[in-house]
Amino acid sequence: LNQALEQRVQERTAALKESNEQMEAFVYSVSHDLRGPLRTIKGFTEILRDQYASDLDSSAQDYVNRIMKSAKYMDSLTQDLLGYSRLSRAEFNLENLETGICLDAVVLQLSEEIEQKKAKLKIKKPLSSVLAHSTPLEQIFTNLISNALKFSKPNERPALRIWAKEKNGHVGLFFEDKGIGIAPEHHERIFRIFERLHSPNEYPGTGIGLALVKKAAERMNGSVGVESELDRGSKFWVELPRANN
Ligand code: ADP
């Protein structure tokens, strides 16, 4: 009986894996194929806005602007979805990486936004080395830092502290902000794809960032989580295996 059960579990797991892979391939091809028509919509809307503005009354101009805004949102959505499904399919080469170097590269990429928002960023170095793949590691940092910059309290400068702590062969990386915070009942669901706690008008975004962070960490044998309360800032953590000696 045990053997039969074991066999059935293996068959179900294989079937589930296959349907998951099919689903991911489907998401990839839909988001990829949507980009062509979307480019056309954006292109012609731009022509209407830039070359025909004088022929359009104010209502028509408003419609054109709205089409543009929606097309831009759809563009981010398809791009983020592509990034997410690429992450599921990519081969990872896990190697010893210095977290500090990856983080510096990400901070440099985000420097314009950091300066524009006058964000206070404190990185406690040295940060430990981890066993990871550089692209998904940088994607994790980019998403967590961008969120800290985005979800700051209105009229306050974003503030973010980053540090690392080693424990039992793992490295915990912590990202603590002083932003709007997250009520405990939402801590789990924000890591699921498309789960957002605000409308895109309040805070722009697609709801894919944290799902990508979770998937990237899990694919590198790590985990993620958050400690937070509403109005009291958030502390996101990512745990990854420590680099080999
Ligand atoms: P997006 O940033 O596109 O909304 P994410 O998946 O990155 O999507 O985040 C999901 C939701 O989690 C956000 O919409 C927001 O409600 C919440 N969230 C993420 N990071 C923070 C943060 N640092 N502070 C407060 N809320 C956050």
For residue range 21-30, list pLDDT tens digits in order: 898 889 999 9
Q: Measured on CA atoms in the order 156, 138, 162, 194, is the torsion positive or negative? A: positive
Q: Give residue-wise pLDDT tens across range 62-121.
A: 999 999 999 999 999 999 999 999 998 889 999 999 999 999 999 999 999 999 999 999
Q: Give residue-wise pLDDT tens across range 126-177.
A: 999 999 999 999 999 999 999 999 999 999 999 999 999 999 999 999 999 9
Pocket test of ligand 1: the residue of 78, 117, 196, 214 to mutate, having most ligand atoms within 8 Å of its CB, is 196
Which pair of structure tokens corresponds to residue 49? 């806005």
Residues with CB under 6 A from ligand 1: 143, 147-148, 151, 177, 179-182, 190, 195-198, 205-211, 234
Ligand 1 centre distance from Cα of residue 219 (Å): 21
3-state secondary structure of 121: strand
Pairing status of strand 120-123 against strand 159-167: parallel
pTM over 0.85: yes
Nearest one of 151, 125, 139, 173 to 228, comparing CA atoms: 151
Ligand 1 centre distance from Cα of residue 145 (Å): 11
196 touches 180 (CB < 8 A): no
Pairing status of strand 170-177 against strand 223-228: unpaired
Ligand 1 centre distance from Cα of residue 7 (Å): 41
pLDDT tier for residue 201 given thresholds of 50, 70 and 90: confident
**Which residues sit opposite 161 in a β-bridge?**
122, 176
Ligand 1 centre distance from Cα of residue 1 (Å): 47
Residue with tokens 């958050």: 226
3-state secondary structure of 31: helix
Give me the pLDDT at residue 54, please: 94
Ligand 1 atom with least separation from CA of 180 = 25
Residue with tokens 């980009």: 35
Nearest one of 187, 123, 96, 110 to 150, comparing CA atoms: 110
Predicted confidence (pLDDT) at residue 200 exceeds the cutoff of 90 = no
Nearest one of 140, 132, 126 to 96, comparing CA atoms: 132
How far is Cα 31 from Cα 22, in angstroms, rounded to an integer? 14
> Percent of the chain having pLDDT more than 70?
100
Give every CB contact of residue 242 below 8 A, 6+ residues apart in sequence.
128, 129, 130, 131, 166, 169, 170, 171
3-state secondary structure of 177: strand
Give me the pLDDT at residue 48, please: 96
Give me the pLDDT at residue 24, please: 87
Run of H or E including 27: helix 2-51
Ligand 1 centre distance from Cα of residue 102 (Å): 22
Give me the pLDDT at residue 7, please: 95
Mean pLDDT (the chain) is 95
pLDDT tier for residue 245 given thresholds of 50, 70 and 90: confident
Ligand 1 centre distance from Cα of residue 143 (Å): 9
Predicted confidence (pLDDT) at residue 8 exceeds the cutoff of 90 = yes
Which pair of structure tokens corresponds to residue 234? 């958030």
Pocket test of ligand 1: the residue of 121, 151, 214, 224 to mutate, having most ligand atoms within 8 Å of its CB, is 151
Q: Measured on CA atoms in the order 116, 103, 121, 149, is the torsion positive or negative? A: positive
pLDDT tier for residue 46 given thresholds of 50, 70 and 90: very high
pLDDT tier for residue 11 given thresholds of 50, 70 and 90: very high
Nearest residue by C-alpha to atom 11 in ligand 1: 196
Give me the pLDDT at residue 89, please: 83
Instruction: Provide φ and ψ at 139, rounded to 5°.
Output: -65, -40
Give me the pLDDT at residue 156, please: 96
Give me the pLDDT at residue 133, please: 97
Ligand 1 atom with least separation from CA of 206 = 3
